[in-house]
Structure 1
Amino acid sequence: EYVRVCDAFGTGYFYIPGTETCLKIGGEVRATVYVNETESADGDDWDSEVRARLTFDAKNDSELGTIGSYIRIQASQGADLGRADVGLDQAYITVGGFKVGRSLTWADDWGLAGESDAFFGNARFNTVSYTYSADAFTVGLGIDDLSDEYAGNEVGLEAVASATLGMATVTLNGVYDFGDEDGAIAGVVSADLGPGTLGIAAAWASGQAEGYDFAAEWTVGAAYTFKATEKLSITPQVVYWGDYGFDGGDDAWGADLYIEYALAAGLTASADVRYIDEEGGDSNWDGFVRLTRSF
């Protein structure tokens, strides 16, 4: 009787008593068992991990537009470690299209539905950005503080443009690291095709760039998410990297098969098996099985 439902910003929000601010509380618990053909330094070829997340999302209307704040607290715990450290994974303020704080940037959204499409190694920074969104078009520009990745203070520039054209969505990401004076451009095209969704991705980097930590000079890949039933999806994916790891021109290719099944509302089981083969190096199999409860 003391809490009112707030439907102005979507489902799950309620008014904080005595205010006009709407709050949504969410979270996730994820349990994973990883297996790897290559043994670790301790001789282990499998490991388990539990990850917990707790999120708080608060919004209210004002004369400046919608003001929001988002907090995500996260902790991960492997079986062979001591007590997990609880960390501030994200925390930012939004005012209209402006965002300032610690956040996963647009680079984190780049990629395909599988698990083998590595390109951006770093995508979480203290950042300030502006995003403009229309019905079918989005553009954004941001400045990232890359000081965590360098001994001194350095910044990076990031931009995104996305358009939905019928059944297809095209997204382009561009970044530039002023510390190493290297940049990259990456694009993804996704489209509903038959009983699933096809995704094609490509990326190019002028150098490794310590701030963003690119995986290769160039990357191309494709994935198809087959919606077998309302609850079951199956995603095969292939990726090719040129000058993998910037180690002198050796290329690499990888493939994986990702399966996800919705056991119930908020409860998902998933598994992945992945293969990677580097030119002039060793090949490797790895994978995981996972249970995720979200609320």
Structure 2
Amino acid sequence: VCDAFGTGYFYIPGTETCLKIGGEVRFAYDWNNNDAPRVVNGTATGINIDDFQTRARLTFQTANDSEVGTIGSFVRLEATSDGTQGVSLHEAFITVGGFKAGYFNTWADDIGISGENDTFISNAKFDSVSYTYAADAFTIGLGVDELRQADGAFGIQGLASTTLGAVTLTLWGGYDTKADEGYVVGKGSADIGPGTFELYAGWASDPSHYVGTVEWTVGAAYGFKATEKLKITPSVNFVEQFNNVDYVTGGVLASYAVASGLKVDATVDYNKGDSKDWTGFVRLIRSF
């Protein structure tokens, strides 16, 4: 057993490197009142949204102390029952202190509020390098992303966050050097009553590899514990697109902890756009 880096690690025999194996199995039913096809990264797959789907993820984490600090690595593999991608590399990266390099979800993936309605960021996972400095009260970071290999497009991301008592303020920014366009997002969250209130706003100068369709958006959510095991999060978002089409989305996400390592998530969402779609899902998630 290796307890230097948290629970679940054990020494790889004959080495000073610690290994942790984990993962997740998710069984879901997704639905849409218009029987629309499932969309992955902006492309219709031809598979109806109204279907069952099973997803498996397997993770491997390693860590060891060295003369340059703690060296870590992370690998996550993913596969789905519809077989659209087979077994794929979901994330893989190396960390040395605050330095991070590899293929991973960047800070842009954290943009938004709790729930299933925020739609500002189009792409957040890249081959990237970043450095994060974290202190007790604040965090700052800077990263460089390879947006597309075909034309050598690169992007720059920045992050700044501070916690003042019960309030956390976060600022994100990104710039696509090929498109010569960028975005900025601000978010505040605060512990209020039995839950956490979140408010965020984002603006993009024009379409880029980070933001494809949304010019600006404002959203709010409030997640509260109804019981010790049940958390309910209503949310609402207003969206203005680059084509001057605006719409409102709203929904309620419920998460119930059945037991240790087992939970059920369910959501019902409404998109008051031209299509006026009702969507939702029920997911049984086992993590280990």
TM-score normalized by the length of structure 1 = 0.92
Of 231-240 and 110-119, more deviation after overlay is shown by: 110-119
Task: Answer whether contact 2:11 2:19 (CA < 8 A) is retained.
Answer: yes
Aligned-residue RMSD, C-alpha: 1.5
Q: Confirm or deny that 1:154 pairs with 2:153.
A: yes
> What is residue 220 of structure 1 aligned with on the other side?
218
> What is residue 106 of structure 1 aligned with on the other side?
107
Task: Answer whether contact 1:205 1:214 (CA < 8 A) is retained.
Answer: no
Query: Counterpart of 1:253 in structure 2: which amino acid?
Result: V
Q: Confirm or deny that 1:261 pairs with 2:256.
A: yes
Equivalent positions of 1:229-244 (< 5 A) are 229-242=227-240, 244=241
Q: Deviation string for 1:158-204 (max 9, x for gaps)?
A: 00001111011111110000111110001221111100111111100
Query: Counterpart of 2:116 in structure 1: which amino acid?
Result: E
Q: Distance in 1 between the 2:125 and 2:23 partners?
A: 19
> What is residue 183 of structure 1 aligned with on the other side?
182
- Match of 2:81, SS state, is strand
Query: Counterpart of 2:211 in structure 1: which amino acid?
Result: D
Q: Distance in 2 between the 1:215 and 1:17 partners?
A: 50
> What is residue 9 of structure 2 aligned with on the other side?
13
- Distance of aligned partners of 1:156 and 1:236 in 2 relative to their CA distance in 1, 3 Å threshold: same
> What is residue 89 of structure 1 aligned with on the other side?
90
Q: Distance in 2 between the 1:178 and 1:48 partners?
A: 40
Q: Distance in 2 between the 1:116 and 1:134 partners?
A: 31
Equivalent positions of 1:1-295 (< 5 A) are 5-40=1-36, 44=48, 46-78=50-82, 82=83, 85-147=86-148, 151-209=150-208, 211-242=209-240, 244=241, 246-247=242-243, 249-278=244-273, 281-295=274-288
Q: Distance in 1 between the 2:222 and 2:200 partners?
A: 12
Q: What 5-or-longer segments of structure 1 have no aligned partner?
A: none
Q: Distance in 2 between the 1:166 and 1:183 partners?
A: 31
- Distance of aligned partners of 1:13 and 1:43 in 2 relative to their CA distance in 1, 3 Å threshold: closer
Q: Distance in 2 between the 1:215 and 1:169 partners?
A: 28
Q: Distance in 2 between the 1:62 and 1:174 partners?
A: 33
Query: Counterpart of 1:60 in structure 2: which amino acid?
Result: N
Of 172-181 and 38-47, more deviation after overlay is shown by: 38-47
Question: What count of residue pairs does the alignment treat as equivalent?
Answer: 280
Q: Distance in 1 between the 2:100 and 2:85 partners?
A: 30
Of 38-47 and 89-98, more deviation after overlay is shown by: 38-47
Task: Answer whether contact 2:26 2:283 (CA < 8 A) is retained.
Answer: yes
Using the TM superposition, give the Cα deviation of residue 110 of structure 1 relative to its aligned residue in structure 2, in angstroms: 1.2
Q: Deviation string for 1:209-263 (max 9, x for gaps)?
A: 1x21344111100000011111100000000012x2x22x111110010000000
Task: Answer whether contact 2:71 2:97 (CA < 8 A) is retained.
Answer: yes
Q: Distance in 1 between the 2:79 and 2:140 partners?
A: 32
Q: Distance in 1 between the 2:214 and 2:230 partners?
A: 33
Task: Answer whether contact 1:53 1:72 (CA < 8 A) is retained.
Answer: yes
Using the TM superposition, give the Cα deviation of residue 8 of structure 1 relative to its aligned residue in structure 2, in angstroms: 1.2
- Distance of aligned partners of 1:96 and 1:48 in 2 relative to their CA distance in 1, 3 Å threshold: same
- Distance of aligned partners of 1:101 and 1:290 in 2 relative to their CA distance in 1, 3 Å threshold: same
Using the TM superposition, give the Cα deviation of residue 99 of structure 1 relative to its aligned residue in structure 2, in angstroms: 0.6
Query: Counterpart of 1:274 in structure 2: which amino acid?
Result: D
- Match of 2:109, SS state, is helix
- Match of 1:70, SS state, is strand
- Match of 1:107, SS state, is helix
Task: Answer whether contact 1:275 1:285 (CA < 8 A) is retained.
Answer: yes
Query: Counterpart of 1:94 in structure 2: which amino acid?
Result: T
Task: Answer whether contact 2:204 2:211 (CA < 8 A) is retained.
Answer: no
Q: Distance in 2 between the 1:45 and 1:105 partners?
A: 27
TM-score normalized by the length of structure 2 = 0.94
Q: Deviation string for 1:43-67 (max 9, x for gaps)?
A: 9561121111000110011110110
Task: Answer whether contact 2:184 2:204 (CA < 8 A) is retained.
Answer: yes
Q: Distance in 2 between the 1:252 and 1:84 partners?
A: 32
